Amino acid sequence: MRPALNDNFSRLVPSYLFSEIAARQKVFSAAHPEVKIIRMGIGDVTRPLAPAVIEAMHRAVDDCARPETFHGYGPEHGYAFLRERIAQQDYAGLGIGPDEIFISDGAKSDLGNLVDLFDDRNVIGIPTPVYPVYVDTNLMRGRTIRYIDCTEADGFTGQIPDFPVDILYLCYPNNPTGAAISREKLSAWVDYAHANGSVIIYDSAYEAFIREPSLPHSIFEIEGAKECAIEVRSYSKTAGFTGIRCGYTVIPKELGPLGAMWERRQGCKFNGASYISQRGAAAIYTPEGRRQVRADIDAYLENAALIRSGLEAIGLHATGGENAPYIWARTPEGMDSWKFFDLCLEKAGVVITPGCGFGRGGEGYFRITAFNSRDNVCEAMQRLKAL
Ligand code: MLT
């Protein structure tokens, strides 16, 4: 092949975590078609979309059937009807305007694409364990990553480092540990960013699972955060949009040219989330939409409580699952996490996520998601108990 290839890809683990899990499951299922697999690996929702969302999307399809209401290319950064609702409801009282909100097809793409805004010489601070997208997308650009250990001792919220980083990724409620962050600890991270001139990329994809009133839903609840943080949110877990695709990123004006750069980047490389998905997302902000998606999240949180207590009942040390859909547990007898993954798959037909897939801080742990039916959750717990 004539063109030189991006050699940075050689720094990546050969297969993306969830692709590797799917591949192992496929091999096992082919060899054992009689086993009913219970998938608690990737955090993919299982409950259907809320009726308010379905109705709004039906109406949006009908709009597209008539010349006078047809929608082709939309505004690159999202329709005003959605941006305004986000500003009014998700950021009520926080002084975030619709023009600081950029609609997209989801948090994963935004998190991956935000790397375009920053020079490759920047030093990147990434907690471990963590959602692998932050690491992989920076490695693809050849950047230097400084890892920040998050441990049980700090409630998986990380020790504030004694070294500077230029870009810092934070995710709370956390994927994979299910840990939530207090206002005080998040303030300490904002202070760190100010002291070091860092920008925080705050992944808030799971904020809708927060039930403790004292916990912050947005980093912009913290004083000084608008001067140092970008926030990324998604409707995937909030409202079951993993297949529909819609999310958004908030870049406050206080960050100077970054908002305009993101507009330029998206205008060039992205044509916007579909009209139908944005109409569906807007329906989440109606009173009935709010009620319906909250009920879905409540059901997942009840699953999470069952999983956590089920793991504890069989003697495993488990955390998370209280303000998040993920439960994080130590593997039995310090078993390595892929070995435990294989054991659960082969002996129980249950797919979990091996902790080491989230980085070095995850070795010796595994993650279970609460995104499943109640019956499957109960059956999976029975099978793990029998292991
Ligand atoms: C996960 O399981 O960690 C998430 O579903 C992955 C994602 O949101 O891309």
pLDDT tens, 248-298? 999 999 999 999 999 999 999 999 999 999 999 999 999 999 999 999 999
Amino acid at 92: A
Given a cut of 80, whether residue 1 has pLDDT beyond it is no
Angle between helices 51-63 and 287-313 (to 10 degrees): 130
120 closest CA partner among 154, 145, 87: 145
Are 247 and 232 in contact by the 8 Å Cβ rule? The answer is yes
CA distance 257 to 103: 18
DSSP secondary structure, 257-292, as one string: THHHHHHHHHHHH---S-HHHHHHHHHTTSHHHHHH
Residue 22, ligand 1, Cβ within 6 A? no
Taking each helix axis as running N to C, give the angle between helix 51-63 and helix 275-283, from 0 to 180 degrees, rounded to the nearest 10: 150
Question: d(Cα 266, Cα 246) in Å, to the nearest integer?
Answer: 15
Angstrom distance (rounded) from CA 182 to CA 168: 18
Query: What's the CA gap between 137 and 126, in Å, rounded?
Result: 12
Nearest to 310 by CA among 231, 225, 381: 381
pLDDT digits (tens, 9 = 90+) for 111-147: 999 999 999 999 999 999 999 999 999 999 999 999 9
Centre of ligand 1 from the C-alpha of residue 44, in Å: 7
Give the HSE-up count for residue 30: Cα atoms under 13 Å, Cβ half-sphere: 6
Q: 107 and 236 in contact (C-beta within 8 Å)?
A: yes
Q: Please tell me the predicted confidence (pLDDT) of residue 281.
A: 98
Report how far ligand 1's centroid is from the alpha carbon of 364 (Å): 20
Tell me the C-alpha to C-alpha distance, in Å, between residue 1 and each of 14, 170, 315. Answer: 20, 39, 54
- Mutate which of 39, 174, 175 to test ligand 1's pocket (most atoms within 8 Å of Cβ)? 175
Supply the angle between the helices 287-313 and 374-386 in degrees, to the nearest 10. Answer: 10
Cβ of residue 43 lying under 6 Å from some atom of ligand 1: yes
Specify which residues 144 forms β-bridges with: 123
Strands 101-104 and 247-250: antiparallel
Compute, in angstroms, the gap from residue 17 CA to the centroid of ligand 1. Answer: 10
State whether the beta carbon of 175 lies less than 6 angstroms from ligand 1.
yes
Pocket test of ligand 1: the residue of 42, 104, 234 to mutate, having most ligand atoms within 8 Å of its CB, is: 42
Give the model's pLDDT for residue 337: 96
pLDDT at 15: 87
Domains of the chain: 9-49+291-386 (3.90.1150.10), 51-287 (3.40.640.10)
Strand 365-369 with 123-128, pairing: unpaired
Contact 372 CB / ligand 1 (< 6 Å): no
Q: Which atom belonging to ligand 1 lies closest to the Cα atom of 205?
A: 8
In the DSSP assignment, the letter for residue 205 is T
Q: Cα torsion at 282, 284, 285, 286 (round to 10°)?
A: 100
Residue 386 has what pLDDT? 94
The token duo for 306 is: 């069952």
Query: Under 8 Å CB-to-CB from 193, ≥6 apart: which residues?
Result: 168, 199, 200, 228, 229
* pLDDT of the residue at 14: 84
Whether 101 and 87 have beta carbons less than 8 Å apart is answered as yes
Q: What does the pLDDT average to over 220-225? A: 98
Are the CB atoms for 328 and 367 separated by under 8 Å?
Answer: yes
Phi, psi of 113 (to 5 degrees): -85, -25
Pick from 46, 131, 246 the residue to mutate for probing ligand 1's pocket: most ligand atoms within 8 Å of its CB. Answer: 131
User: How many helices (DSSP H) and strands (DSSP E) are in the chain?
Assistant: 12, 13
Is 83 close to ligand 1, i.e. is its CB under 6 Å away?
no
Q: What is the pLDDT of residues 343-369, one digit of tens each?
A: 999 999 999 999 999 999 999 999 999
Residue with the nearest Cα to atom 5 of ligand 1?
43
Closest residue (by CA) to atom 1 of ligand 1?
43
Contact 113, 265 (CB under 8 A): yes
